[in-house]
Structure 1
Amino acid sequence: MACMEFTPEHRGTVRLEAREYGRSVLGAPLLYYPCRSACRLLVFAAIHGEEPETTFLLSRCLRAFDTNFEHVAFVLCANPDGATLGTRGNANGVDLNRNFATSNWNPAHVQSRSILESARDTLLSPGKAPGSEPETQALVALIESLKPESVIAMHSPIGCIDAPARTPLVERLQGTLNLPWKPDIGYPTPGSFGTWCSEHRVECITLELPRLAPELLFERYGESFARFLAAQD
């Protein structure tokens, strides 16, 4: 089990060993923190570049650990170009969470909101074809290589735990973060990562963080989420 310690010396940097699993459209390295043995859980953040608070919270949690986990792997930012550019999609304007090769992938534009309460005022591409983007291809290849039993995909700002079934892992995450469980997000998500997981028999839990400033997210969830991650190891 990973040993957790929040001290001033631990707060400055992530000390886990990173490896490259691909390159983004603009050539940024796609990095992950591998586990030392069989992978039971993969946690990834920021497949949407406009959700950098997911990376912030996960990074703050991982800084409490000195060594890579035994059975849990991490991706701090699945869309580094989007995070750098401040865009939801990647550098090609593709919503990566609608670009997975699923039976319901749809070539129509993806509608999204500038803020949660607004109308869907932004159009993104789902890609020229299913799985067309290097970030999508690399994440799929990573999962096929690691073969995790479960994946937690971190998003914001709806504030819920979205999963088809209330499994033991969902219940543990619920108990940790005190967020409501929803069996679906309430609108169609063709070509999404969750659909890809369902079709490949991988448990996918979408952790939707609530709308809070990053430092408040860490204040509220940092230690408890870090303990939750350590307990999965």
Structure 2
Amino acid sequence: MSVEVDAVSVRIGAAQILETITATVVDGQMVGLLGPNGSGKSTLLRTIWHALIPSRGAVLIDGTDVATLPTRELARRVGVLMQDDGTDARYTVREVVETGRLPHRRLFGADEDPRDRVGEALAAAGITSLADRRIDTLSGGQRQRVLAARTLAQATPVVLLDEPTNHLDLAAQHDMLGLFRRLGVTVFAALHDLNLAAAYCDRLHLLNAGRLVASGSPDEVLTPELIGDVFSVAAAVTTNPLTGTRAIHLGPRPITESTPS
């Protein structure tokens, strides 16, 4: 299932958050959204699943404007893992993951899918042993796995990930992105780590101050010049000997001081 962002602009009050963004994710690709804080990554994801309404432009899922889709139907097509989830701390892990099945429940509560999607999601996220724990007893990394499991249980053809590796240790970061990549669904992921983006994404969209400044393969987008311009750091690019993908090395830009006259 494809996602098309067609000339989308988003204004919140007097602030222009996104300006004429056009981006496409084709079926089965993992596409990364990159950019510094405040560049509009989370806003774009929220606009895709219609939590925000664009002031101009449209978002299309397989050619259908998301604004025309009923909430239940949109939730059957798009799964979301967002930051600042606000999940009630009194729920158990299993109860949280079960909410991912709500769009697929019939009138009297029976699930349309005979598979144990909740059990499969708990296992895939590596949290089966935590199923009966309350959310407020978990670490930040464990909570992130719970939210990922809920998204997996939703079993949608499109998945939106907003900083999915937050709170995760190094091994878990790779596990998380590898898990969603192996699903074979369409994934749009906002990421901060450029090396993770290079290793797992098919294409990248680079945002800065609400504008799209570059789109293409990791080789095309992750250049020292673009990284330096957008993130205000010095950058060198080599090849990761373990993965064959781009390896990004970052450092502060040299400080230049003018000589007093």
Larger fraction in strand: 2
TM-score range, shorter chain: 0.3 to 0.5
Q: TM-score, normalised by structure 1?
A: 0.32
Q: TM-score, normalised by structure 2?
A: 0.30
| Structure possessing the higher radius of gyration over alpha carbons | 2
